[in-house]
Structure 1
Amino acid sequence: MTEDEDYLDKSPSAAQMGKAAEYLVAASCILATQGELNVSTAQVDNQGVDLVFHRQGSPVTLAVQVKSRMSTTSVVQKGRYLADVRSQTFRARDDLDMLFVAVDVERRAIMTAWLIPSGVFGEMVSEPNGKGKYRFAASLKPDSKDRWSPYRLTGPELAQRILARLSEVEKAAPR
């Protein structure tokens, strides 16, 4: 197994940690906006949607697929982030974003995140690999200029970017 693939080793707690990261994102965004953002979670993740954000008093929603990696993994410790997105569930649409998030386990905080509109993600990734997955690979270094750097956010920036994305979705919605 290559070093790039070791992040895929699923421990029995991997799903539990992934769900905890989703709740961390949701709680952080609600707290950062003092309740302006509200978040719903999916009962079943068969559409590739983990969280659905909306602004209080607005019917517009932003669906988000969350891929998380923990600070305790060797790849993250080396300053890299890797995740795969299943092509079977990925369908680009205006109201769907991909959220890749690195979580500092010790601090229980978001280290780095990338919020990427699904249409942009679909255009920027290559064909799915032999296992039907799109690979997301980015640098965690703040001064990196990799192709994903325009979408890189700090934890505190994430909630404001989601609010901005909701405004973009609202403007693009047919009237």
Structure 2
Amino acid sequence: MSDDEDYLDKSPAAARMGKAAEYLVAASCILATGGELNVSTSLVDDEGVDLVFHRRGSSATLAVQVKARMSTGTQIQQGRLMAFVRSQTFQPRTDLDMLFVAVDVERGAIMMGWLIPSGTFGEMVTEPNSKGRFRFSASMKPDSKDRWSPFRLSAAELPERILARLAELEKVGAE
């Protein structure tokens, strides 16, 4: 078991840190788009949806499952983000994306992220491990060409990519 997985399973603060990271993503996207994006959260997270993005004046929505890892974790310090997605709750659909983010806890800021449509994620991951989890492991190195690098985003690129995904969903809904 990796340090990061162990940390998430055992730390009493893990849920609090994860929720804070979700709100950090939500707030930074609203602020960076001048209020163009709005975000809703779920009271109960039983469908793997943490945030739902909506563009002002549009009916399209993008559901996002957020998997955050903190800069204090060994994997992040070594330049890798590793996270697990439960196969039991993972249901790919057109309007669901997976967002993996590295968070700098000292600055309270997103370091980088990977926004991956759930269908694409489902096609790219291998079989679940013995605990029924899909493993996501991506390099944070800027020159990395791992299979997840096409989805890697800076904190500044994330809100624009979400707006682009909403535009794609709007087109699909209009057809």
Smaller-chain TM-score bracket: over 0.9
Q: Secondary structure of 2:27's partner?
A: helix
Q: Look up the equivalent residue of 1:165 and give its one-letter code.
A: R
Q: Secondary structure of 1:89's partner?
A: coil
> Would you say 1:114 and 2:110 are equivalent positions?
no
- The root-mean-square deviation of aligned C-alpha atoms, in Å, is 1.3
**Unaligned 5+ runs, structure 1:** none
Q: 1:102 aligns to what?
A: 102
**Scaled by the length of structure 2, what TM-score is found?**
0.96
1:141-152 correspondence to structure 2 within 5 Å: 141-152=141-152
**Scaled by the length of structure 1, what TM-score is found?**
0.96
CA distance in 2, matches of 1:121, 1:127: 12
Q: 1:130 aligns to what?
A: 130
> Would you say 1:18 and 2:18 are equivalent positions?
yes
After the TM superposition, which segments of 4 or more aligned residues of structure 1 sit over 2 Å from their partners?
Answer: 1-10
Q: 2:154 aligns to what?
A: 154
Following TM superposition, by how much is the alpha carbon of 1:9 offset from its aligned partner in structure 2, in angstroms?
Answer: 4.1
1:75-132 deviation digits (Å, cap 9, x = unpaired): 1101111000001110100000000000001111100100000000000000111111
> Would you say 1:168 and 2:131 are equivalent positions?
no
Judging changes above 3 Å, is the alpha-carbon distance between structure 1 residues 143 and 68 closer, same or farther for their aligned structure 2 residues?
A: same
- Verify the 8 A CA contact 2:4 2:69 in the aligned structure 1: no
**Unaligned 5+ runs, structure 2:** none
Q: Look up the equivalent residue of 1:156 and give its one-letter code.
A: A
Following TM superposition, by how much is the alpha carbon of 1:16 offset from its aligned partner in structure 2, in angstroms?
Answer: 0.1
Following TM superposition, by how much is the alpha carbon of 1:10 offset from its aligned partner in structure 2, in angstroms?
Answer: 2.8
Q: 2:44 aligns to what?
A: 44
Percent of residue pairs identical:
74
CA distance in 1, matches of 2:123, 2:97: 13
Following TM superposition, by how much is the alpha carbon of 1:43 offset from its aligned partner in structure 2, in angstroms?
Answer: 0.4
> Would you say 1:27 and 2:27 are equivalent positions?
yes
CA distance in 1, matches of 2:3, 2:15: 21
CA distance in 1, matches of 2:174, 2:56: 20
